[in-house]
Structure 1
């Protein structure tokens, strides 16, 4: 079993709601991302995306170029930190990287959000697909990367770009994570 999962963070967007579209620059980035992915020269078997508009718009040029269907998966949606507004939300977020079970009102703990995106990866590993793209959001992607590399934490989350691309290679029970995107 040799699997390649290309983990993509969406391009630049206007806002954080589920229906927030890409910016004009984000649409340009989506076309650049399509070219970048085409140059990887692997046959992508599946594209699984968060149903949030900015994620779909990010991968749409590539999917159309390759004449591929997009699969939507709610487990790839962004993590909800809280239903309460925090003026110090960055500090609150950092605390959830230190205590993975910390949960604020109306939100998800890091472990809860991590578990749902890891389920997507486990489903991919159990499938026949060899090369899969998943498109999601910075918060939940950082938790997936943390699952495979405990050194990937809050500071690394802050270093993610829009877009960003990581490759997760899984060979039996071994895995390797490599950042492919250079912004």
Structure 2
């Protein structure tokens, strides 16, 4: 019995220093509607999301369409890079991807964030066996989860992701079968 997880990287958001409450931008709202349209004819059983507003807003149209509440799963929140804004994001993110056990002050290493995301994924697979689940999430944590199951999904892959972006991961039990890009 196969389970499909549709990981949806959130649409473009307005920058605010409040990570948790950062909303979608006008473009993000338009793109979230396109995400909803993609799922109009797909048999979706449940919607899960990171607690971050931009992730919730990206999948809220799908939840409305299937008339289900979005269930918040903290394990799908974005990885914390640092407790303070970093001076050079590109340099910092490159370094942590090159050094999986390194973390900036107050941040999560790739290894720690990946463990959190994979644990959440395994729990979802055990709870929703044989179902089709949409997961509103973030680029870094999504790729760290995908990387656990297939190391082709790496830092270079992450750099090519779009906002939003969708990948369907198929599992048999908790055994990874494949990841497929969902065009939009």
- Report SS of the residue matched to 2:40: helix
Gapped regions of structure 2 (runs ≥ 5): none
How many correspondences in the alignment? 180
Moved over 4 A (4+): none
Aligned-partner Cα distance in 1 for 2:53–2:116: 20
TM-score under structure 1 length normalisation:
0.92
Q: Which residue of 1 aligns with 2:136?
A: 135
Q: Which moved more, 1:142-151 or 1:86-95?
A: 86-95
Deviation at 1:174, TM superposition (A): 4.1
Gapped regions of structure 1 (runs ≥ 5): none
Q: Deviations over 1:130-159 (max 9, x none)?
A: 111111111111111111121222111111
Equivalence map 1:99-110=2 (5 Å): 99-110=99-110
Q: Which residue of 2 aligns with 1:96?
A: 96
Q: Which residue of 2 aligns with 1:179?
A: 181
Q: Which residue of 2 aligns with 1:78?
A: 78
Q: Deviations over 1:67-94 (max 9, x none)?
A: 1110011111111111233322212211
Root-mean-square deviation (CA, aligned residues, Å) is 1.4
Q: Deviations over 1:104-133 (max 9, x none)?
A: 110001011111111121012212441111
